[in-house]
Amino acid sequence: MSVDERMIDEVAKIINESENVVVLSGRKVFREIGLNGVTAEHMAYDIEAKYGHSSNEIVTAAFLNWRVEDFFDYFKNVILNPKVKEIPDSVKDVKKLMDYGRVKKVVTRDVYSLYSKAGCEEDDVIALNGTVEDNKCPNCGKIYSSDYVLDNGPVPTCADCKVPLRPGFGMYNEMMDSGKINDSCQAVEDADVVIILGSSAKAKVFNNLLRYIEEEKLIIISDVESFGDEVATYRLYGNISDIMNKITEKVTKVEKPEKEEEPEVPEADDKEADAKEVDEKTADATDSKEE
């Protein structure tokens, strides 16, 4: 058995002992299927060449006001990738672990509502950076989807008010929603196990949350090892979706004990079955009489 397989067994075992796993989902989860994210660090050179500014300068309220066409060009061509329609397999597996009663909450940096699209309940997902699906009219508050942004000219405006939309993702220089931060801290603090998926222990947003978790409860799953990851006892590197799939295959559903007040239901079933048996007997008897 290779080291990785042993690690997968160990991680699956830890998850199987918990009903409160929290997943911190990072950039590499969506990069795996070709989505760039808001800051698109891996495209820094191309972005600078095309727009004459870095992503950190572009994704600001000032830039939106100043160069609205360039802002939306960046939104459509860098952040949104209309060619990518699927959901990463790793996200589907997290949803499966939620259905199994193992994962309780996901804190995600993706702005694509990937977990919602995979079927997760809104209450179970904290989208730290907002979502490209909640673009808002600053005037009337009406919400427009990413498809609307893609399909409505160089500068998508509110159909009623004709003013440019405000993107649903967080701007670079804006404070993150403190309610979401508090909810994330609480979730991590309450968790038995935390999985950092597609990120590193040093990633700024997640690093702040890690003080709430002990290292033997921390699992990192990512493409490559990063400096600082050694704070986690369990670390797995490679194709993120493959690793998640191997783990998920070994995780079982939480077996809920039968509720006390429900023994009447099987009893009723028994009676029904008995009655049916009687009917059948009667029918048999009738049959034999006819013969």
The site for Zn ion (CB under 5 A) is made up of: 137, 139-140, 142, 158, 160-161
Largest separation between any pair of C-alpha atoms in the chain: 96
Q: Tell me the closest approach of the beta carbon of residue 141 to Zn ion, in angstroms.
A: 7
**Distances from the Cα of 59 to the Cα of 65, 171, 234, 262, angstroms:** 11, 5, 35, 56
Check if the beta carbon of residue 237 is closer than 8 Å to that of residue 224: yes
CB of 160 to Zn ion, least distance (A): 5
Q: Based on CB atoms, which residue is closest to Zn ion, 164 or 198? A: 164
The residue among 140 and 278 lying less far from Zn ion, judged by its C-beta, is 140
Residue given tokens 């509110």 in the structure block = 158
The whole-angstrom separation of Cα 50 and Cα 45 is 9
Q: How far is the CB of 159 from Zn ion (least distance, A)?
A: 7
Closest CB 143 distance from Zn ion, rounded Å: 10
Q: Residue holding tokens 């990851």? A: 229
Nearer to Zn ion, 50 or 136 (CB): 136
**CA-CA distance, 212 to 188, in Å (whole number)?**
6
Per DSSP, helices labelled H in the chain are: 3-16, 27-31, 44-51, 55-58, 61-66, 68-74, 89-99, 114-117, 146-151, 178-190, 204-207, 240-249, 264-290
Residue 157 or 233 with smaller CB distance to Zn ion: 157
Torsion of CA 99, 103, 105, 107, to 10 degrees: -110
C-beta closer to Zn ion: residue 64 or 103: 64
If the CB atoms of residues 137 and 220 are measured against Zn ion, the closer one turns out to be: 137
d(CA 51, CA 67): 10
Instruction: Specify which residues 237 forms β-bridges with.
Output: 222
Q: How far is the CB of 157 from Zn ion (least distance, A)?
A: 8
CB of 168 to Zn ion, least distance (A): 14
Shortest CB 11 distance to Zn ion, Å: 48
117 vs 136, beta carbon nearer Zn ion: 136
